[in-house]
Amino acid sequence: MSSLNLDDFTDLIERPDGGMRRDAEARRERQIVPPGSLGRLDDLGEWLAAAQGAVPVRPVERPRVVLFAGDHGVAEAGVSARPAGSAADLVREVLEGGRPVSVLARRSGVPVRVVDMALDCDPATLPEDVVRHRVRRGSGRIDIEDALTLEEAEAAFLAGIAVADEEADSGTDLIVLGDVSVGGTTAAGVLVAALCGTDASVVTGRGGLAIDDLAWMRKCAAIRDALRRARPVLGDQLRLMATVGGADLAAMTGFLLQCAVRKTPVILDGVVAAACALVGQRIAFRAPDWWLAGHRSGEPGQAKALDRMALEPLLEHGVSVGEGAGALLALPLVQAAAALAAELPERPEPAPAEPDGETAEEPRSEPTPAE
């Protein structure tokens, strides 16, 4: 039995400050640009005010990209365009600055943190700050076996909590959350299908490298088989992650929930982050109020999960590469909303009118009588 009580998150997570949101709405009514004329930027500014508990909104000055990394055994079933066990190569490219998220982050001045939870490589080949939270080498093949033991799932979940605390304690004021994985979208599809009560075909996408039809059918079959194994444990979210998730997904779920506890806003990237958020919603129903959907990736599982959480993506550019790249593109939009909410001047108060519509005049002195 696990010693981790997930029900505690229901009590620990509060909604963003509703009073501050009303104050932000009132301030927006007084600004020189009419309310509604900035579209979703108005909503984003008010959401940030509630999340920060501050009016005017503070600028987003210390954002960070956090990527959880892992290899999934289900990739051995030919469900990915990348070879099974090759996620470590992607991590090295991210660290060396050669991936899309690296380029975008460098141009934006945003640091990138990679957290290895289950890469299938020798940990000595990666920096210590990347591998220090690793739970195991690769996750199990979920269509025929459990991804993790229950103890490993708990360790991964607690690692995610620890990473969230590290970020909050260091002053990070907004997280862009993504994954670096091979086979991760298959595990994410299983979680979404299980929690939304849908069939495998409804959530099976083609991944970041657009697999061909044959690989798509293999992926659909793997999700179908894993879904049969997931349904009996739907009532226990930690056991669900152990059965059909993976160490990186369990860690992302713990991370998301602890970010909500610490009142740290998060921008979600693709289907993997959305699936973990969906598990998080099942654990603590108020948690999604702290998250934004950065973009629509085109993965049907992501669309299903976001719809279930009532999260509307900020952007729709068809970015399917993963790694937090699509969500990072939404960061300037959030920063712009904060700047507009804080810096647009308010309309001057009209001068008070005199009775009968007359304007007050300076009193005139009476002429002095001549002597």
Q: List residues with catalytic annotation.
A: 323
Beta-bridge mates of residue 266: 175, 291
Strand, coil or helix: 364: coil
From 281, 315, 274, select the one nearest 295 (Cα to Cα). 315
Length of the chain equals: 371
3-state secondary structure (DSSP) of residue 30: helix
CA distance 76 to 80: 9
CA distance 152 to 141: 15
Amino acid at the residue 162: A
| CA–centroid distance for 102 within its chain | 18
Q: Which of 305, 287, 277 is nearest to 198 (CA)?
A: 305
Nearest to 307 by CA among 333, 334, 281, 337: 281
Which DSSP state fits 176?
A: E
Q: Cα separation of 246 and 187, whole Å?
A: 7
- Among 290, 12, 324, 279, CA closest to 157: 279
Residue 35's Cβ-count burial label (10 Å; 0-12, 13-18, 19+) is exposed
